[in-house]
Structure 1
Amino acid sequence: MCDQEQLARWAKKSLNRRTFGAGAIAGAAAACAPMGMESGAAGSSVVGRKVSFRTAAGTMDAEFFHPETGTHPGVIFWPDIAGIREAKRQMARRLAASGYAVLLVNPYYRDVSGEQFVDFATFAANKGFETVKPWRGKLDAEAIQMDGRAAAGWLRSQNAVDKAARIGTQGYCMGGPFTIWTAAAAPDVGAACSFHGGGLVREGENSPHRMLDADDHYLIAIARNDDAEQPQAKTALRNAASAVGAAAEIEVYPADHGWCVPDSPAYDREAAERAWSRLLATYAEAL
């Protein structure tokens, strides 16, 4: 998992924007053209804008990306611990280019709005974990389920969203469990996709693995070092999915925590592309 000790190691190595921030994003875009695409699958441009909407806890801010024309399945995108930034915008644009209406949400809206860290290097080198800790502490199952319902409702009100399709949700790092909590709370959500998510199996009735549902599809991609720390989690998740009859793809990837995110020091292009292809396949089947 992404924790304070790991962040300290990255910062101690003097990792900065030149080593895995802006340079990593640029490298990913160059190596994999779709990362920088601004055209949708049907040839229309991808458009994006900042948005906000009410929740029971206040006003959530987000960024919304979708093809310029047509209607498309909606997706709620939960970022990792470093929040909204250019790496996450690139991922949201890429998904929109594949024919989805993507809502990149700010999970920390109760405390701050918009981008707080320009990239993961800035987060790691500037005590980002300590900064977000009090914000993150408010994001329990109840809070995220409330936010997820509000986000799904907002998507349903948008002209760019296909109202006949179910909604997808994807999350990275701390956003992994948010996907399952969202799916459990919002009937419109039909797919929950977690990438190197932390805390999917935990104590208590609100553990994500206890909230799987037969009506939803699950894609749970586990980092090898997370699996080494909690090897029983994959088995608990598989058993839980089997018990309720849920369609679930649960796999340990040969890559470290953070491998899907292009500004992460653990970014692994080959494994990230494989995970991306499984994301699209899951959405194609479930939404």
Structure 2
Amino acid sequence: MSDAIIAETVHIGAERIQAYSARPLGPGTYPGVVVIHHLPGYDEATKEMVRRFAVHGYSALCPNLYWREAPNAAPDDAAAFVRAQGGIPDEQIIRDVTTAAEALRALDTASGRVGVIGHCSGGRQALLVSTAAPVDAAVDCYGAFALEPPPSTSTLRARPIRDRLPDVRCPVLGLFGDDDQFPAPAEVAELAAELDKHGKSFEHHSYEGAGHAFFSVDRPSYRPAAAVDGWRRIFTFFGRHLEA
């Protein structure tokens, strides 16, 4: 497989939502992946993940979820503004990710199958999207507040999505750290039990010695061994559900 890709900022859907796109240049058809950025925003680390998927044979797209609220702000400033406003409403997340999935399926090189992945707040949102959008596989990387609301000290107003779990419509992979507080191991175990109760496919793995944001190469929280194994699991999971 060639590792030649094209990566660029695009605008998608009727609203012309800003998004970062990366896709293979070689001939053939490719599955799609919507990358949901983390709470710190539409930043360089997230764009690098988008390019990584393209190198591995996926057409990847990351919509800027803060585009409306802070259209020209730097990622840190946009994230601070959105955090102060309590976050992005769930229904808006679902609409924007659905728009991104439709854009991927409309590509001439599309295979027709699309997955979604998110880290941090994006992990919760990937799980949320799996209950309401036409995606074929979802990856939740340490998504917090799926079952319990944020602590009272937080400005975030994320609502638990426990009541949506019966509507999960695709296989889900969850990757977590044993040292994380949000979500803590007990919440991960409860999430697994809830999804099992509803007959949903949920593969999950937690890493000893890893906390929140262990995939973030530009942060002290980065744990190379956990991240390397996590990426292996992600590509195996997407390979099984998107490339079949």
Q: Same fold (TM over 0.5)?
A: yes
Give the 3-state SS of the residue equivalent to 1:50 in structure 2: strand
1:96 aligns with 2:42: no
- The answer to whether the aligner puts 1:147 opposite 2:96 as a matched pair is yes
Q: Do residues 109 (structure 1) and 67 (structure 2) align?
A: yes
Aligned to 1:68: 25
1:219 to 146, 168, 173: 173
Determine the C-alpha separation between the residues in 2 that align with 1:44 and 1:234.
Answer: 36
SS at match of 1:99: coil
Give the structure 2 partner of residue 284 of structure 1.
239
The alignment covers a number of residue pairs equal to: 232
**Contact kept in structure 1, 2:178 and 2:185, CA below 8 Å:** no
Larger relative CO (CA 8 A, sep 6+): 1 or 2? 1
Deviation for aligned residue 1:275: 0.6
Q: Which blocks of at least 5 consecutive residues in structure 2 are unaligned?
A: 150-157
Code of the aligned partner of 2:11: S
1:173 maps onto 2:117 in alignment: no
Q: For each residue in 1:226-266, what CA deviation from the matched residue of structure 2 results, as whole angstroms up to 9, or x when unmatched? A: 35864431222111221222221122222011110211220
Aligned-partner residue type, residue 140 of structure 1:
P
1:152–1:167: 8 Å Cα contact kept in structure 2? yes
TM-score normalized by the length of structure 1: 0.73
Contact preservation (8 Å) 1:194, 1:221: yes
On the 8 A contact 1:110/1:135 being kept in 2, the answer is: no
- Superimposed CA distance per residue, residues 120-170 of structure 1 (whole angstroms, 9 cap, x where no aligned partner): xxxxxx787643314552x2221211112211111111123212xx21110
Q: C-alpha separation between the residues in 2 aligned to 1:143 and 1:115?
A: 20
Which residue of 115, 119, 138 corresponds with 1:192?
138
Unaligned runs of 5+ in 1: 1-41, 118-125
Kindly indicate whether residue 2 of structure 2 is the aligned counterpart of residue 48 of structure 1: no
Task: Identify if the C-alpha distance between structure 1 residues 134 and 277 changes in structure 2 by more than 3 Å, giving closer, same or farther.
Answer: same
Q: CA, structure 1 residues 228+51, in 2 after alignment: closer, same or farther (shift >3 Å)? A: closer
Report which of the two structures shows the higher radius of gyration computed on alpha carbons: 1
Tell whether the 8 Å contact from 2:22 to 2:60 is kept in structure 1 after alignment: yes
Conservation of the 8 A alpha-carbon contact between 1:52 and 1:59: yes
Offset at residue 114 of structure 1 (A): 6.5
Structure 1 contact 84–115 (Cα < 8 Å) conserved: no
In structure 1, the partner of 2:200 is 246
What TM-score do you get using the length of structure 2 for normalisation?
0.84
CA distance in 2, matches of 1:53, 1:88: 18
* RMSD of aligned residue pairs (Cα, Å): 2.5
> How far apart, CA to CA, are the structure 2 residues paired with 1:212 and 1:152?
22
